[in-house]
Amino acid sequence: MEKKKRSGGVVVSEPLVKQADEVSLIVFACEAGMGSSLMGTNQLKKLIKKANLDIAVQHSPVGQIPPGVDVIVVHRSLSNQAHSVAPDAVVVPFTMFFNDPAVKQLVATLKAGEPVVSVY
Residues annotated as part of the active site: 30
Closest CA to 97 of 24, 44, 25: 44
Which parts of the chain are beta strand (E)? 3-7, 10-14, 17-18, 25-30, 56-61, 71-75, 90-94, 116-117
Cβ contacts of residue 53 below 8 Å, gap of 6+? 107, 110, 111
Taking the C-alpha atoms of residue 83 and residue 1, their distance in angstroms, rounded to an integer, is 10
CA distance 100 to 116: 17
Neighbours of 64 (CB within 10 A): 10
